[in-house]
Amino acid sequence: MCGIVGIVAKSHVNQSIYDALTILQHRGQDAAGIVTWHNDKLFLRKDNGLVSDVFRTRHMKRLVGHIGIGHVRYPTAGSSSSAEAQPFYVNSPYGITLAHNGNLTNAAEVAEHLYKEDLRHINTTSDSEVLLNVFAHEMQKQGELIPTPESIFKAIARVHQRIRGGYSVVAMINGFGLVAFRDPNGIRPAVFGVREREHGKEYMVASESVALDGLGFKLVRDIAPGECIVITKEGEFFSQQCAEDPKLVPCIFEHVYFARPDSIMDGISVYKARLKMGEYLAGKIMKERPDHDIDVVIPIPDTSRTSALQLANRLGVKYREGFMKNRYIGRTFIMPGQQQRKKSVKQKLNAIALEFAGKNVLLVDDSIVRGTTCNQIIEMAREAGAKNVYFASAAPEVRYPNVYGIDMPAVEELIAHDRTVAEIETAIGADWLIYQDLEDLQRSCLNGASTEVQEFDCSVFDAQYVTGDIDEAYFERLRVARSDASKSSANSAEDVAIDLHNDQE
């Protein structure tokens, strides 16, 4: 999962893009990048690390211009190499730079075609570079010295035909303006907004509406599935549907875990959805355990707080904050390696013994993926004196990998793979385990929302992959790319390359 932003303004955008990326930092902590346009030149800064680490005053001073795009990244496969930090750039045609959130499911096939037919070389393992080169090639085929909105729409229509998967994209064409588009199923999110200024309208595209809020932009709407929007350097706005058969099927895991609760996606309030998750989960607990002996409900911070609070209210049980979080440690789900995840849990969380001692505690988390984190947290609760430790997941069992841009591991690394709930309960060390039902999760997101969404991508729960191109061969390639052993090996090689590069400097 990554975060993207693009701004067309009347003044320099470097600070605004920086601020937007800090707001979207929860979507990726592996790398960050910004590119701006000024006087027919592109100015780029990107590197591994948090936004605050990558950009210093000297970098910001060089990022001049009133148009720009930005990206925060975490790796969905392979290494966390600085060579794969975004945005990416190609000089032909025009000079195009692009940032991407998502994953192409036919990236290998398209990369081969780019080399053999389009004579384009891909220099990294990133599917974002593949996507950029497809877009650049289709723009080149338009044969125009100066691009137009019409030629861009034609090129994007061809992009949709050539690639598959989940993707939201911001791109910048040198001397022309900003382009943004979303996959034909709307799997990955993208919104745009406007800000009125003395000299006219300013436009912003971002992964989440919360980034617009933070910069004073008014949310206009989500970019529709398959739609492309174009904003020229003069501030002219154009949009067109570029997909043949678009259908809105957004990723439900955005509402479970990734998105900030103060965001609105496809007309759905993430906060309200998480409240409903807690409500439905409480209903299931009362049905299955009407005589439960839960003394206190404690969330595992931060994402599960909203659901846990509503769950406690519905059960009529005390809600308490039992874990204090070190906010200077990154999200463990995003860390590229199981050993690093294991090491970080106790660095990140500390139990308040007062809230656990002698009590039957219900811990609430947004989901359970590998089970490693919740296993250690349950141990911490017992060490703090809990009599019994129950565990509730606001999402159903994660049994299948995500192929549309979320770094869920190879299937055998998922704790729910080939296990019953009772077996998972034993594996994580809980006295009792309960999962949300998938139907209730979907109801949570749709309940009372003013949205065009009728169904979600729930593939991590039900293996129904909306693009229809996922088979066992694909899973095997994914297993190799996403296994912790593969990432460890790739990261080790990258460390050597970085050391050699620094020696030369």
Nearest to 408 by CA among 475, 327, 315, 324: 475
Fold adopted by 3-247: Glutamine Phosphoribosylpyrophosphate, subunit 1, domain 1 (3.60.20)
Tokens of 480: 């190799």
pLDDT for the residue numbered 80:
56
Tokens of 118: 């389009």
Dihedral angle of Cα 390, 396, 400, 406, to the nearest 10 degrees? -100
CA-based radius of gyration for the chain:
23
Distance, in Å, from the CA atom of 411 to the CA atom of 354, rounded to the nearest integer, reads: 38
**Quick check: 97 and 172 in contact, CB under 8 A?**
yes
Question: Known binder of ligand: residue 365?
Answer: yes
Distance, in Å, from the CA atom of 80 to the CA atom of 48, rounded to the nearest integer, reads: 8
Distance, in Å, from the CA atom of 293 to the CA atom of 302, rounded to the nearest integer, reads: 25
Report domain 272-325+346-453's class: alpha beta
Domain ranges of the chain: 3-247, 272-325+346-453
104-141 in b/e burial notation, b at 16+ Cβ within 10 A?
A: bbbbeebbebbeeebebebeebbbbbbbbbbbbbbbbe
Catalytic, 251? Answer no
Q: Per-residue pLDDT for the chain (505 aa), expressed as one digit of tens each?
A: 899 999 999 999 999 999 999 999 999 999 999 999 999 999 999 999 999 999 999 999 999 999 999 999 986 554 556 788 999 999 999 999 999 999 999 999 999 999 999 999 999 989 999 999 999 999 999 999 999 999 999 999 999 999 999 999 999 999 999 999 999 999 999 999 999 998 899 999 999 999 999 999 999 999 999 999 999 999 999 999 999 999 999 999 999 999 999 999 999 999 999 999 999 999 999 999 999 999 999 999 989 999 999 999 999 999 999 999 887 765 544 455 555 555 567 788 999 999 999 999 999 999 999 999 999 999 999 999 999 999 999 999 999 999 999 887 788 999 999 999 999 999 999 999 999 999 999 999 998 788 899 999 999 999 999 999 998 888 888 777 766 545 544 444 333 232 323 333 3
Distance, in Å, from the CA atom of 416 to the CA atom of 425, rounded to the nearest integer, reads: 10
Cβ-based neighbours of 446, under 8 Å, separated by 6 or more: 268, 453
Residue with tokens 């002219």, as numbered in its chain: 236
- β-sheet bridge partners, residue 382: none
Residue 360: φ, ψ to 5°: -90, 110
Question: Known binder of ligand: residue 366?
Answer: yes
Distance, in Å, from the CA atom of 444 to the CA atom of 438, rounded to the nearest integer, reads: 10
Question: Known binder of ligand: residue 303?
Answer: yes
pLDDT for the residue numbered 487:
52
**Quick check: 13 and 84 in contact, CB under 8 A?**
no
pLDDT for the residue numbered 328:
73
Residue with tokens 């009407």, as numbered in its chain: 290
**Quick check: 349 and 380 in contact, CB under 8 A?**
yes
Tokens of 85: 């930090």
Q: Identify the three-state secondary structure at position 79.
A: coil
Nearest to 24 by CA among 85, 70, 81, 59: 70
Q: Chain-centre distance of CA 453, in angstroms? A: 19
For Cα atoms 458, 186, 249, give the angle at the middle one, nearest 5 degrees: 35
